[in-house]
């Protein structure tokens, strides 16, 4: 059995796709691309697909991960192309590597987020960030299935800064980076450690309201730029697929070349 790890995105309107909707679209893509999937046992077999730390509905992402199990060898790059062609635009399969190591989920210990705050100036955002980071604790509340729960949003935030609009990675399509916006717009870049309970971007926004009375007039546009293993010394988030690439490179001189996946007749974009 071969295991392939994939990185995919949720862009544009597709950020509103729920995790269940993505599962359905991905399983259709597997069938269109004629991927030789391994299936679970029992009365209702289903494809062996493992999802890792999916972003909330309504959140854009450049770094979602999953793993699939195959019954036959396939070239990861070719397989990625076939699956990407079979997915809706916006749900893009952008990377693939053969799984040579264990514990992908264990390497997802932090995320890099970008928050776009329309109606907030850069200076307002920068002052709010300073107040948030200066606080020892920032208590926020979130409604859960067991009622309201209070927790500290400050502890999970490793780094946060207001960056120029021109440095926005998740800039809306067609927006020029050097043209003044029609209204103020602040961009926050933050690194958040994955904890229990999880601290989400919405919780950080609640924390900014508590610590600095910052309340954007419209909901923030949130995009996950990366997720992976947190380097505690530098505060950076590393590529979780890098160990698999290194293992593949180390064994490439002895391992036989995998068979190339064949494009099914009549395949195309959803």
**Do 163 and 188 lie in a common domain?**
yes
pLDDT exceeds cutoff 80 at 266: no
State whether 89 and 122 are in the same domain. Answer: no
pLDDT of amino acid 178: 42
Beta strands 60-70 and 221-230 are parallel
At residue 144 the predicted structure's pLDDT band, cuts being 50, 70 and 90, is: confident
Query: Is the per-residue pLDDT at 160 higher than 50?
Result: yes
The answer, yes or no, to whether residue 95 has pLDDT greater than 90, is yes
pLDDT digits (tens, 9 = 90+) for 36-81: 999 998 888 899 999 999 999 999 999 999 999 999 999 999 999 9
Q: Reply yes or no on whether the pLDDT at 2 is more than 60.
A: yes
Answer for the pair 214, 120: CB distance below 8 angstroms, yes or no.
yes
Judge whether 270 lies within some domain. no
CA 153 to chain centre: 20
**Same domain? 114 vs 222:** yes
pLDDT confidence of 251, banded at 50, 70, 90?
confident
The answer as to whether 62 is a domain residue is yes
Q: Which pLDDT band, with edges at 50, 70 and 90, does 179 fall under?
A: very low
Calculate mean pLDDT across residues 156-174.
85
Residue 267 above 80 pLDDT?
Answer: no
pLDDT(11) > 60: yes
The CATH code of the domain that includes 20 is 3.30.70.580
Q: Are residues 230 and 244 in the same domain?
A: no
In a domain, 195, yes or no: yes
Query: Is 266 a domain residue?
Result: no
Q: Write down the pLDDT at residue 43.
A: 87
Q: Please tell me the total count of domains within the chain.
A: 2
Per-residue pLDDT at 263: 43
Structural domain contains residue 7: yes
Does any domain span residue 205?
yes
Q: Which of 206, 200, 208 is nearest to 224 (CA)?
A: 200
211 φ, ψ (degrees, to nearest 5): -80, -30
Cα distance between residue 65 and residue 90, in whole Å = 15
**C-alpha distance from residue 139 to each of 207, 264, 269 (Å):** 7, 54, 46
**Same domain assignment for residues 230 and 158:** yes
Q: What is the mean pLDDT of residues 73-98?
A: 97
Length of the chain: 270
44-53, 109-118, 251-260: range with lowest mean pLDDT: 251-260
Are residues 44 and 144 part of one domain? Answer: no
- Specify which of 87-101, 135-149, 174-188 reaches the highest per-range mean pLDDT: 87-101
Q: Of the given ranges (3-17, 40-54, 114-128), which has the lowest mean pLDDT?
A: 40-54
Phi, psi of 104 (to 5 degrees): -60, -45
pLDDT band at 256 (very low <50, low <70, confident <90, very high): low
Work out the angle at residue 37's Cα, subtended by the Cα atoms of residues 31 and 38, and round it to the nearest 5 degrees. Answer: 145
pLDDT at residue 169, as a whole number: 84
In a domain, 198, yes or no: yes
Residue in 218, 213, 236, 189 with CA at minimum distance from that of residue 138: 213
pLDDT single digits (tens) 12-39 = 999 999 999 999 999 999 999 999 999 9
**If we measure between CA atoms, which residue out of 255, 238, 270 comes closest to residue 76?**
255
Residue 76 sits in the same domain as residue 130: no
């Amino acid at each position: 059995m071969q295991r392939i790890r994939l990185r995919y995105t949720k862009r544009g309107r597709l950020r509103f796709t729920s995790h269940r909707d993505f599962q359905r679209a991905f399983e259709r893509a597997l069938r269109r691309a004629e991927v030789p999937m391994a299936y679970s046992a029992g009365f209702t077999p289903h494809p062996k697909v493992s999802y890792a730390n999916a972003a909330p509905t309504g959140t854009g992402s450049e770094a979602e991960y999953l793993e699939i199990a195959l019954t036959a060898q396939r070239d990861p790059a070719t397989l990625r192309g076939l699956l990407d062609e079979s997915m809706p635009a916006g749900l893009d399969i952008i990377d693939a590597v053969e799984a040579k190591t264990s514990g992908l989920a264990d390497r997802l210990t932090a995320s890099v987020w970008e928050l776009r705050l329309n109606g907030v100036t850069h200076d307002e955002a920068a002052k709010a960030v300073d107040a948030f980071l200066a606080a020892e604790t920032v208590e926020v509340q979130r409604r859960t299935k067991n009622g309201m729960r209070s927790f500290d949003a400050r502890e999970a935030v490793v780094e946060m800064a207001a960056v120029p609009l021109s440095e926005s990675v998740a800039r809306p399509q067609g927006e020029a980076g050097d043209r003044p916006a029609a209204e103020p717009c602040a961009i926050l870049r933050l690194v958040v450690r994955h904890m229990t309970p999880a601290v989400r971007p919405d919780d950080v926004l609640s924390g900014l309201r508590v610590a600095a009375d910052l309340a954007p007039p419209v909901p923030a546009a949130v995009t996950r730029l990366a997720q992976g293993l947190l380097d505690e010394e530098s505060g950076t988030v590393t590529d979780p697929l890098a160990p698999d690439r290194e293992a593949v490179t180390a064994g490439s001189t002895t391992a036989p070349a995998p068979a190339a996946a064949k494009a099914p007749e009549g395949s195309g974009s959803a």
